[in-house]
Structure 1
Amino acid sequence: MSIDTATIGQLLELNRTMTLKLLDEIQQFDDPQSALAYRPGPQRAHIAWQIMHVAITEELFATDRLRKTTSHLTEWFPVYQKGSIAGEAIPTVETIKSVLSESRTNLLDAISQIDAAEMEQIPAGLQERGWTNQMALQIVCWHEPHHQGQAHLLLNSWKAEQ
């Protein structure tokens, strides 16, 4: 059974609503940067990293994995892609929201170019992983809730320490 790209868009929209709700809550704090910088231990991913990682992963899928095109977010790649270590520089809520918005627009554009007949094809950017377009879309749908949940747990831990 093949998944429908319109359904993928709806799932991504729900996921994003929850992520933005978390960011809106953080934005209301007296010191949002303190919350965004909260991490469970040295060199572990802070809240800002968790959410920026979602944005950069979506950008990488949009511009490198599902299709090959130019990205305007490449400066963020080394800091937030898979395998990176969360640094000390913490972007603002506004910056995070902007990067989330831009990468999501690019991802939805890339997804819109995949038709039902291409779902079982493996795009060039995913040859090494052996993922079909369908598998890639399933992973993208899972990825944001996974990291949003981690950010949510970290936020609850930060609030408990205040």
Structure 2
Amino acid sequence: MKYVQYFETPIGWMGAAEEDSRLVEVFFGRRPLSPGEVSQRTDLLARTVAQLGEYFSGQRRQFDLPLGGQGSAFSRAVWQALLGIPYGQTCTYGQLAAQVGRPRASRAVGRACHVNPLALVIPCHRVVGADGSLTGYAGGMAAKAFLLALEARSSGR
């Protein structure tokens, strides 16, 4: 069974999903429940919402939640590398590609960011274009700009 909870944030509605006592999704907006999903607040989802609230108030820089989720070996490597980007800093797709041992795979890194199931928790919003420009983001460009500005303010950058 997958448990889903929706909550409001400064960048709009978001949802989180738990399966097998692991956080498997944090996503933007609201969506209809799929078969096998139930809208229910669990202890893990309550912790997730609380930690996201702390993040949005500038008081949390890392999340302490048991993570799940599925993806290819390459995507999982990219997501792991994303967790290493410090709060308040950015990295380019090319730098991230080099970090995972595939220096010519910046587009593949972009695809892995696009399918990241754990928005904000796995901070793909910290990835920018080679020239430092903001590029695509599942939550929208305004949300990405908001998140980067929030982190810059909170980290004193």
TM-score category (smaller protein): under 0.3
Query: Which structure dedicates a bigger proportion of its chain to helix?
Result: 1
Q: Which has the higher contact order (CA 8 A, sep 6+)?
A: 1
What TM-score do you get using the length of structure 1 for normalisation? 0.25
* Structure of greater Rg: 1
Query: Which structure dedicates a bigger proportion of its chain to strand?
Result: 2
